[in-house]
Amino acid sequence: MSIADLTRNCFQSGVSAPRWVKLCQLYVSKNGIESTPDVEHQISNSVLILYRSYPGEPDLVEYFRQALQESLVSLPVFVSTFLQAAFSPEIRTSASLDMLCRVALDAHYSSNAPPVGSVVPVGATSAAIMATVKDALSLLRSASTLPPSHFHQLSTSASELATLLISCITDLSQVPVAQAMVHLSEVNYLLQTLPLSNTARQIFQTYSLSLDMVAGADVKAAHEAQMMQNINASTYGKGEFSDATSNSDIVSFGLLLHHLVHNRGAKYGSGSGGDPVVLLLETLRWSSWTPAVFYTQLISSAFTCLSQTSGNKIWLWVSFIAGRLPSMISQFEATIKSDSLVNADWRSAVQTALSNVLRRSELMAQCDHLIQQLNLETPVLRSASGELLAGLINRSVIDSSFAVGIDVRTAEDSIPRLKTEARDAGHPELQPYITFKISLDASLEEVKLLASRVWLDPTSHETFARVIMEQAAKLTTTLDVESMSHLCKLLLQHETALDIISLHEPISSLVYHALKFIETYDCETVGDPQTAVGHLGDVVLFAQYTMEKYHLDMDTFAHGANAVSSQFIKTVRNIYGLDELTREEMVAFNSWFKTLFDSTSEGIEDSILRSTNPKILLRLAATLVSHAIIARMASKIDNDTLHNGVSFFLSPLLNWTLVGVVKSLLREIKTKGFNAPVHFDILQTILLSPSCPPTVHCLCGAQILTQITLLNVRVQTASSEFKFDVRAIRQLAARAVGYIEPATMPTPKQQGLWPNQPRNAILMAIGTARGGKAPHLDVKHCLDVTPPAKFLQLLWSELVVAAGLGEMDMCRRIATYVLTMPQPPQTPPLLPIFLYIVLPSLIVAIDNQNVGEQTLGTELLFNIVTSSLTAALHLEWALRAVGGEPLSPLGGQPSTIMARRLGVNLRMKKNSRTSRSLLHKLTSSQPFMANFPHFMSEINI
């Protein structure tokens, strides 16, 4: 029996790839055959023969992957045999050839080895390498004639393989002239007819120059040209498509992961249901990465983000990597496997990625060092790799045997986990155990202790978040105010618990339940309204804090088909004139003003609490204090009466209304200055009181710090009788918001100007990416400061500088992220704004530049337009795959419509050289035209 017979029998019998490899190894050893290139050729050809009969068969592709992984077949042998077999008419389809091409490329990038020694054997002559190059060039030429496939980019893969092989040619001076002329003809044909990427075109042009010199017998010049080619080859992996498959690039996933964590509480953040899976699917399709490279990029970027973190954000990234990332991967695989057009071994891919990333000793050492900062005196967390492996095992993404092979410490875990604790307590499952532990019967300290134990066990984070959400929904239905207060105080006093929830569940749904509870709860029929109002106040403070912390500034919060308004929370700082109040509000105002600021008042009685809607009391609090201050300044009430009334606001009964009171006082002080001495006095009384809730300090701290410099100057110029402790209030606010106070307060000129922040953010992202780190760019914050069109102009001005330094691909990735990353609903869509408003002005500006600048600007425009529209197209596909929204989150306009309108706009600018050049590039791009076939129809109108 031959090797070909063995392979055929194994395939037809359904033998798995690992089993087939072992049988081949057994066959070779039992027959006394040495593992030589000839034997490797036989094994590779035995699979290729079957592949001709079963083109695109995933099991045969897996045979190749396993053979390469187990060194049964070397990569140079596979490359040469595959390229020779590519001439067979049976497998000449884009899909079948691209799958084989990707096997070779994936094996090369997973090896982390240079091309020499990877795709070609060490010591191979230039003539021998050129023979393989010739086959690769023929494959690239054939790719342009085969019907295109939306899911397999053969032209990209073949071009990438050809450039890898060309980079291995170290000396052309000894190559026969005849062979050089054949290559020269083929390369020139490809340069003239194919829409090659920038990197491939540059390498092909240099190779053509070298061949031309050899054909002209100018050996010295050939050596010089070869030096140029070697320089280009050394930078290979920094170009358009090469970066898309390089497992060292972290720009795209760095931006994506920072977005997920930074905006974790918002739409398309980490906790936004299936939205993260949508973004992963879109990235997979847009990048054309193989599964192994995709996972390598994802995991390495996550650990790089962790390695760049400091302070209290360390645990957040550990929680994301160990707790959220495994569930995202599990959900992603469940979705992608349901797509019959995407057939790959995802389990093997994630194992390959883990093997690559977790053995990067320097990166993992940096992450472990940060974890040690959390562990303090006693170890409470595994290593960085151990926490991720535990999370992946928990989600059944990998099995424990593989994890032990990567990190033996996984098998030696001595840290008690909550699942074990739950079983010991008689709960076979974790969820009912956590539900029981946070019940009303447990004290707040006991629940906080549980939350701390949850934090130390990332594998329990998802379950904990789900339990809290279910409890909140249940309490909103039962209107149990004491239990709801209990839950809200836990989340207010244990901030990490709230952040855990935000990574796994839509935090807006939690706010919905709080707002719905406040809106629905009625104090009229309760037995003890004073206690009930105090408990309800905890819910109000929680809603205010959560909306502020996660920047949730929506007017309504929805949960399923239901919605609730947040206006009564967002308007608490407003001061109303009496003529602006409704009849019900006017009655409440008069009753409360008399109760609080009348010297004859006997205090707050139950009757007034029963008759007042808590939402109305929250709305009127700032107005009540403001009118009391006006009455004091008009000598209608004395100072003691004013302070006695304010003291009620510092009691548990009303302190939940203080956020609006403090913010209104700050606004009045900013407007009136020293015409508001009573405002200063009341503000100081409230803020420095030990009864003022820490949540109020936290929510008002940023506003206090922004005004504190001006306050300091004003107080220094005031009379000695004016006593306002600026330093104490500044320190209090700084502690509340986590601000490290400098030795001296900066002057207004020293403080950063708001208009400069977007430019600084863009420069920071570019600089971070340039340094090989994971960049972060908060687009929403930039748009809060700068109008969209101006922000995009700023982005262009910085990207064109970076592109001029040879960083075109980095610019493409950053621009694609900015234009296509879904932002909160109230944020204007940037891709249509760029295409319809900014792009025309850029074309006019480029037309007025010199030829060199025009070429660079046009090339950057082409890269941004094609990449962004393609990303938008794949985002729409991903939304459909996950069963999400029918409309694109990029303004509700489909990418095909945007592309069609772009074509019309470019066609109308016939007199613009830049417009004509961009139009030509777009219509010459085979991938772009395959994705947007109607673009050409609009051009031909």
Angstrom distance (rounded) from CA 184 to CA 193: 14
Question: How far from 503 is each of 262, 384, 572, CA to CA, in Å?
Answer: 10, 18, 29
Q: Is residue 64 assigned to a domain?
A: no
- Higher pLDDT, residue 26 or 324: 324
Q: Is 322 in the same domain as 434?
A: no
Question: How far from 884 is each of 203, 594, 898, CA to CA, in Å?
Answer: 43, 54, 21
Q: Two tokens at 199?
A: 């990197």
pLDDT at 739: 55
Q: Is 154 in the same domain as 112?
A: yes
Q: pLDDT grade, residue 230 (50/70/90)? A: very low
At residue 246, does pLDDT exceed 50?
Answer: no
pLDDT at 324: 96
- Higher pLDDT, residue 325 or 187: 325
Q: Is 477 in the same domain as 381?
A: no
Query: The domain containing residue 328 runs over which residues?
Result: 251-415
At residue 336, does pLDDT exceed 90?
Answer: no
Per-residue pLDDT, averaged over 222-226, amounts to: 43
Angstrom distance (rounded) from CA 122 to CA 142: 29
Angstrom distance (rounded) from CA 486 to CA 465: 16
Q: For residue range 663-683, what is the model confidence (pLDDT) as tens digits?
A: 999 999 888 876 788 998 999
Q: Is 848 in the same domain as 700?
A: no
Return the bridge partners of 565, or none: 556
Q: What are phi and psi of 670, to 5 degrees?
A: -60, -35
Q: Is residue 686 assigned to a domain?
A: yes
Please state which of the ranges 583-592, 835-844, 877-886, 932-941 shows the lowest mean pLDDT. 932-941
Q: pLDDT grade, residue 124 (50/70/90)? A: confident
Backbone Cα Rg of the chain:
33
pLDDT at 938: 55
Angstrom distance (rounded) from CA 492 to CA 509: 17
Q: What are phi and psi of 774, to 5 degrees?
A: -85, 115
Question: Strand, helix or coil at 563?
Answer: strand
Question: How far from 509 is each of 263, 393, 672, CA to CA, in Å?
Answer: 15, 29, 40
Q: What is the three-state SS of 328-388?
A: HHHHHHHHHHCCCCCCCCHHHHHHHHHHHHCCCHHHHHHHHHHHHHHHCCCCCCCCHHHHH
What one-letter code names the amino acid at 351?
A: Q
- Higher pLDDT, residue 893 or 928: 928
pLDDT at 188: 78
Return the bridge partners of 563, or none: 558
Of 105-119, 261-275, 723-737, the range with the highest mean pLDDT is: 261-275
- Higher pLDDT, residue 885 or 156: 156
At residue 796, does pLDDT exceed 90?
Answer: yes
Of 646-660, 744-758, 821-835, the range with the highest mean pLDDT is: 646-660
* Total number of domains constituting the chain: 5
Please state which of the ranges 8-22, 29-43, 227-241, 582-596 shows the lowest mean pLDDT. 227-241
Return the bridge partners of 559, or none: 562
The candidate with the shortest Cα–Cα distance to 210, out of 191, 229, 196, is 229
Q: 669-696: string of b/e by CB count within 10 Å (b at 16+)?
A: beeeeeebbbbbbbbbbbbeeeebbebb
At residue 752, does pLDDT exceed 80?
Answer: no
Q: Is 220 in the same domain as 268?
A: no
Q: For residue range 162-221, what is the model confidence (pLDDT) as tens digits?
A: 888 888 887 776 677 777 777 877 787 787 777 777 778 778 877 877 777 666 544 434
Q: Two tokens at 103?
A: 């096997």
Q: Is 406 in the same domain as 435?
A: no
Ramachandran sector of residue 167 (left: φ over 0; alpha: ψ -120 to 50; beta: rest): alpha
pLDDT at 343: 64
Q: Is residue 447 assigned to a domain?
A: yes
Which DSSP string do the residues of 36-50 spell out, in sequence order? -HHHHHHHHHHHHHH
Q: Is residue 12 assigned to a domain?
A: no
- Higher pLDDT, residue 939 or 407: 407
Question: Strand, helix or coil at 264?
Answer: coil
Q: Is residue 45 assigned to a domain?
A: no
Examine the fold and report which residue of 500, 529, 559 is the final residue of a domain before the chain moves on: 559
pLDDT at 623: 96
Q: Two tokens at 648?
A: 């009620």
Q: Is 425 in the same domain as 386?
A: no
Q: Two tokens at 680?
A: 């200063």
Rounded to two decimals, what is the model's pTM?
0.72
pLDDT at 568: 93
Of 188-192, 311-315, 436-440, 621-625, the range with the highest mean pLDDT is: 621-625
The candidate with the shortest Cα–Cα distance to 452, out of 496, 387, 489, 505, is 496
pLDDT at 862: 96
Per-residue pLDDT, averaged over 249-259, amounts to: 93
Q: pLDDT grade, residue 640 (50/70/90)? A: very high
Q: pLDDT grade, residue 237 (50/70/90)? A: very low
At residue 757, does pLDDT exceed 90?
Answer: no
At residue 467, does pLDDT exceed 60?
Answer: yes
CB atoms within 10 A of CB 744: 7
pLDDT at 734: 85
Per-residue pLDDT, averaged over 302-327, amounts to: 92
What one-letter code names the amino acid at 559?
A: H
The mean pLDDT value of the chain amounts to 84
Question: How far from 582 is each of 464, 568, 576, 616, 842, CA to CA, in Å?
Answer: 43, 14, 11, 10, 53
Per-residue pLDDT, averaged over 356-363, amounts to: 86
- Higher pLDDT, residue 87 or 247: 87
Angstrom distance (rounded) from CA 642 to CA 628: 7
The candidate with the shortest Cα–Cα distance to 200, out of 223, 232, 245, is 232
Name 458's Cβ contacts closer than 8 Å, sequence gap at least 6: 318, 319, 322, 323, 387, 390, 391
pLDDT at 444: 77
Q: Is residue 569 assigned to a domain?
A: no
The candidate with the shortest Cα–Cα distance to 164, out of 215, 107, 227, is 107
Q: pLDDT grade, residue 148 (50/70/90)? A: low
Examine the fold and report which residue of 415, 438, 468 is the final residue of a domain before the chain moves on: 415
pLDDT at 307: 93
Of 138-152, 469-483, 874-888, the range with the highest mean pLDDT is: 469-483
Angstrom distance (rounded) from CA 774 to CA 892: 30
Q: Is 520 in the same domain as 387?
A: no
Per-residue pLDDT, averaged over 83-98, amounts to: 79
Q: What's the N-to-C CA distance of the chain in angstroms?
A: 64
Q: Is residue 257 assigned to a domain?
A: yes
Ramachandran sector of residue 236 (left: φ over 0; alpha: ψ -120 to 50; beta: rest): beta
For a pLDDT cut of 70, what percent of the chain falls above it?
87
Residues, the chain: 941
Q: Is 224 in the same domain as 273?
A: no
Residue with tokens 């939350």: 451
Q: pLDDT grade, residue 1 (50/70/90)? A: confident
pLDDT at 922: 93
pLDDT at 744: 41
CB atoms within 10 A of CB 368: 17
The candidate with the shortest Cα–Cα distance to 305, out of 355, 251, 349, is 251
Q: Is residue 456 assigned to a domain?
A: yes
Angstrom distance (rounded) from CA 145 to CA 360: 42
CB atoms within 10 A of CB 474: 14
Per-residue pLDDT, averaged over 609-621, amounts to: 93
- Higher pLDDT, residue 548 or 209: 548
On whether the CB atoms of residues 172 and 210 are closer than 8 A, the answer is: yes
At residue 228, does pLDDT exceed 50?
Answer: no
Q: Is 450 in the same domain as 464?
A: yes
Q: Is 164 in the same domain as 191?
A: yes
Question: Strand, helix or coil at 708?
Answer: helix
pLDDT at 282: 93
Q: Is 271 in the same domain as 339?
A: yes
Q: Please, what's the largest Cα pairwise distance for the chain?
A: 111
**If 0-12 CB within 10 Å is exposed, 13-18 middle and 19+ buried, where does residue 747 land?**
exposed
pLDDT at 249: 72
Examine the fold and report which residue of 216, 244, 272 is the final residue of a domain before the chain moves on: 244
